[in-house]
Each structure stands twice: as C-alpha cells, then as structure tokens.
Structure 1
Amino acid sequence: MRQRYYFSTLDEIVEGQFTIRELGNRSVGATLLHGKPIVVLNFCPHAGAPICSGKITPKQILEASHELTLDPEHPVLRCPWHGWEFSLENGRTVFESRLRLAYLEFEINESSIFVWV
C-alpha cells in the first residue's frame, strides 16, 4: 500500500541536480524541470543503478551534417553506470523506448513537497 511522505521544502530542490531522500524503503529523487518539480524513483530501469546520482545534461542531437548539437531545452539524465540517457520530460531512454524512469506522484502543500511511495 502506498504511503505519503514528507520530502523537502520547495527551496531545497534546484534545477540541474537531484535532491535524494530515503522514503520508507525506497530511494527517491526530485529536481526542477523548467522551474517545476519532478519526482522519480532513484532506480535505473536498465540495470538498477542509483539513477539520480547521474548528471543532468542537454540532449544531444545529431544533425544531418553529422554534427552534434546540444538542446538545453530538453535535458536528459545520464545513468552513472552505463551512460544510458533518459528524457526528464517523459522518462524514456533514447536507446530503448520500452524503458522509462518511474515518476512518482507528489503534492505541494504550502512550500513543502509530499511524495506518494
């Protein structure tokens, strides 16, 4: 059965990196995406790595000219173990569309974030 846990205050969550907490028996990470919070299970669906300790980077796009460009409007989270990249917008990996991050339901009450795990 799911349970509601206090995670943090909103001002403890920053864009570009995850804040990680242990809630119950689960590790959970939260960050801001375009100024709005997102909360995910700290578990890579590829191999079980603590995904939230990976780097958030701009999405790389291979242009028709074979040049790589960076798209900072569409950040990805890079797994610290194998380098798999997951879109922070939809959780899907660029390598295997069946695998995705597990987003968690949360609510904001005044300036506090509560997460359902």
Structure 2
Amino acid sequence: MTTMVKRKVYAAQVSDIVQAGSKLVEIRGIDIGIYYVNGAYYAWRNVCPHAAAPICKGKVCGTKLPSEVYEYEFGKDEEILRCPWHGWEFDLLTGKHMADDKVKLRGYEVLVEGEEIYVLMAQ
C-alpha cells in the first residue's frame, strides 16, 4: 500500500481571501481558486470538468433548489460557483455539480496557520 505524501505550499494571506471572498493563485504551475465560505476555506482547481473552462473566473452565487411544481426556491447563496462558459453550477463546499453528484471539481485540502493559508499538494 502506497501512501501519498502531501506537502503544504503557501497560497495566500487570510486577509486577502476574507476581504474578497476568493483569490486565484498559481501553485506549481496549477491555477487554484481559494474560497472563503461560511467561515471555512476551500481550494478548487481552475478547470471545469465539462469543457475545461476557467471555472474560478465564474460567478459565486446561489441557485434554485429542488421544489414543488411552479415553486421556485432560491438557496445556497454565495455557496455556488457557476462556470463562465456554459453555466454549470458547483457547490463550493463539496465541489459537486448541482445536478449530477458524480461530476466534481478537483479539490485540495486547505491548512490555515495564523494569517497564512497553505494548500496541501502531492509531492
């Protein structure tokens, strides 16, 4: 059994992310969007699994939730990342596509130490 070794790599300052809500950073040649949502940090690779669009350039918003016929319930405000090319919506907390949970963004573990944010990357 092989254990994948991960190394923490500096990504940003806490103040950079909290003020703006997100920040796009480049780590080892990979564009990663770091998001601050409901008091927690999430990191997603800047590639939409549908057509390789720069997903982190998309809008952070809410979405329509499952509801009864002719009812339109809005929710998950500021928890949805909408692809700028084709409008695919992903949950920022899980990375899962809103209509098909088998489709998911590539995520990275985030570590916060004091005022510094790190992303854990495979070596």
Is the TM-score greater than 0.5? yes
- Report the Cα offset of residue 89 of structure 1: 2.0
- Given the two structures, how large is their TM-score scaled by the length of structure 1? 0.86
Instruction: From 26, 33, 38, give the equivalent of 1:29.
Output: 33
Q: Percent identity?
A: 29
Unaligned runs of 5+ in 1: none
Mapped partners of 1:54, 1:73: distance in 2:
15
Q: Which moved more, 1:47-56 or 1:1-10?
A: 1-10
Report the AA paired with residue 22 of structure 2.
F
Report if aligned partners of 1:42, 1:50 keep a CA contact under 8 Å in 2. Answer: yes
Deviation at 1:5, TM superposition (A): 2.0
Candidates 57, 61, 64, aligned match of 2:65: 61
Q: Secondary structure at the match of 2:94?
A: coil
Count of aligned pairs: 117
Q: TM (normalized to structure 2)? A: 0.82
Task: Please state how far the C-alpha of 1:34 moved relative to its aligned partner.
Answer: 0.4
After TM superposition, the runs of 4+ consecutive aligned structure 1 residues lying more than 4 A away are none
CA–CA separation in structure 2 for the residues paired with 1:98 and 1:63: 22
- Choose from 87, 91, 101 the match for 1:87: 91
CA RMSD of aligned residues (A): 2.1
Letter in 2 for 1:55: K
Please point out which of 52, 56, 68 is paired with 1:52.
Answer: 56
Query: Structure 1's 82 and 15: CA in aligned 2 closer, same or farther, altered over 3 A?
Result: farther
CA 1:16–1:95 in 2, change beyond 3 Å: closer, same or farther?
farther
CA distance in structure 1 between the aligned counterparts of 2:109 and 2:66, rounded to whole angstroms: 34
